[in-house]
Structure 1
Amino acid sequence: MSAAVAVPARRDVRVISLIGVAHGASHYYQLAFVTMLLIVRDEVGLSFGEVGLLGSLFYAVSGFGQTAAGFAVDRFGARPILAGGLAALGLMLGLISIAHSFAAFAAIAIIGGLGNCVFHPADFAILNASVDQKRLGRAFSIHGLGGSLGWAAGPAMYFLDHSIGWVGAALIGAIPGLVLAFLVLVHRTDLVDHRIKARAAAGAHGGGSIRALFLQMPILLCLVYFALLATNTVGIQQFAVPAWKSMFDVTENYAAFCLMVFVVGSAAGMLAGGYFADRVHRHERTAAIGLLAAAALTLPIATQTVPPALLPVILALAGFAGGTTGPSRDMIVRQATPAGASGKVFGFVYSGLDLGSFLAPLVFGQLMSLGQPATMFWIATGLYVFNAGLVTIIRQASPPARVPAAAAE
């Protein structure tokens, strides 16, 4: 390998690694926020329903802010917007250490939602502009893996709380966002400004109707798929620990360990799913099989027929099965995306994640308030099955041949 090739490869590794870790931080803070609310719930007098409402507020602000964040990324560049989002999330968690009322937590949720809304438009803008096209597939894979590992770190707040108390846990938990914000700002050379390429692409493909683009059936179905996916994922991650504690009569630390196993299994499945996505053409089949397997593995949890000792094993397998669908899911979105419209489409479709994340705390928090934790996993099983059918419909609704615009730009 020549030096001319080796240097860009090393730069790509730096860019992919930094953006992957930054994406992981966003997922970590999503889960750490609600985890801290559950930890301080008795101390500050919050109900499960209020915890769910605060979680929904976080995602509502993030969802509404994502389109605006996309415009900000195009106006000011992705690097400063991404750094600002990381700093805001760190500030969010740190402020929990001094909050003692629902109104204060609501203000903190708004700060966190504003920080969270920037990641998908900023991350994909940076990756598309900075990484060699031959490595974009791996870049997207590591980006998704970083998110899964970030979720796996969220339950660590329980262990920090038991070790140093909730105030110390909140302050220590704020550090990663602040450090990463600094690193993003100083990597000025590696993180290429995407705006020159974005203007060139717009000139090449022309400016079509955004409304017509978003109303295409495959794009709308992708939005629904992402919304239901997030409802399932976020609902389980935010309320699984108290649910399993009640359902299986286990300790909070054991339930937190089970959640970490589930998320790590999902991350491992994502790596395996990347292998399949590079070697198959019918991505909807890979996604559907993984979703149906996850449903089958979630069923014994819903029926409470699995012994507590085997709960981590079942959850690792369920997480793995669900994780394998991630890369194929992204390939399906790329196939449904017209050339030159990847930024708009990915921003619109990924807003479905915020929509589902907004709904999940309301529904799952209410179930916990009603003392119905097992119902959460019956809903999860049904959503896995429904989404397995939905990915097949998306493929049928998409044109038979599609330029992989997201990778090409």
Structure 2
Amino acid sequence: MSLSFSRLYNLIVAKYPQPRTTDGDGAPVDPPLKLGILGAAGIAPRAVIYPAKLMPDKVQVYSIAARDVTRAKKFAKDYDIPTTHDSYEELIDDPEVAAVYIPLPNGLHYEWALKCIEKKKPVLLEKPATSNAEQAEKLFAFAKEKDVLVVEAFHWFFHPAAKLVKDIVSDKKDFGEVEKFEGSFCLSHFFKDDDIRLRFSLAGGSLMDMGCYPISWMRYYLGENPTAARSLEHEVYPKDAKIDGFASVEYTFDSSDKKKGVVHCGMKTPLSTLWRLGIIPKVIITSSKKDLVYSMPLRPDLYHNISVRDLATGKVENRSCFAEGKETWSTYAFQLEAFADAVKGGNTGTQLFSNEDSIDNMKAVDMAYKAIGLPLRS
């Protein structure tokens, strides 16, 4: 089991280092990357503000802009952000801002990421990157044309536990040929009816906000993209028939008729279904020899367990994985470090979530919407 009392204490009582002006040899250190935030979103503290405090030599959350200037100033005061801007455009235009984090509603990602790229500002872009695959292709083609780094913020991807699971299931000699993936991320009463993530006009829906996670897990661990999808079960949100309150989708792949990928996601999951699937995000991967259950792939820094069972003997091995010296680092911290190093031209040895993956993930999301008979987000 991966939850120790000492790690739990250090998670609750975070210790933040002081920024340095010189290194161990007395040489001056490079100034940190100055990051601007578009929108006073609730996820910003978890995603960049607190992680930046862990690495003050690398990243400084420098400014925030919101549509409500008063809200931006309060947000800056609450989180010790030194600067505010009166508009998104003003923040993007500020030469002091070296990169931009975009946690705006889904339907605004495409518009504001394009504007950042136009101004040559690297972007850490909240998931889902865009409202649909066509937008994703245009966005990342423009980023390539302008030679601007844009990274979709699938933070789970950067934790060492994710790579350990990938290594286990990729070892065909030991693990066997993978035949089925099942991933779930479901909640029921967490989202209020006025939540922007339930608004079609802002590209809301369960597949967009929650399903994109197990879809990305599926593609990563199976190592290929699905070619078809069919609806197993879905329920629309009663207040808007274009919004998926819950969806279960089965994907198929060209590599094998036997290989299947099943994704469950719900912002308004029926209680009977939630009881069956559970509220803890989970990945189940089954092969010809073994099965693997990865509990809490979304936030393995809080808790996770990787259970591998030999189908022939019934023997079960439980594992967990943390980076030495960074046992309490969140998935967001690993992501921010990798992004900052990539912007500054450094190398942590961590692969970024690629633009090709972002496009392919949106294609799989669109595929799911077509399968359940709901319109694509726009």
More helix by share: 1
TM superposition score normalised by structure 1: 0.25
More strand by share: 2
Larger RCO: 1 or 2 (CA < 8 Å, sep 6+): 1
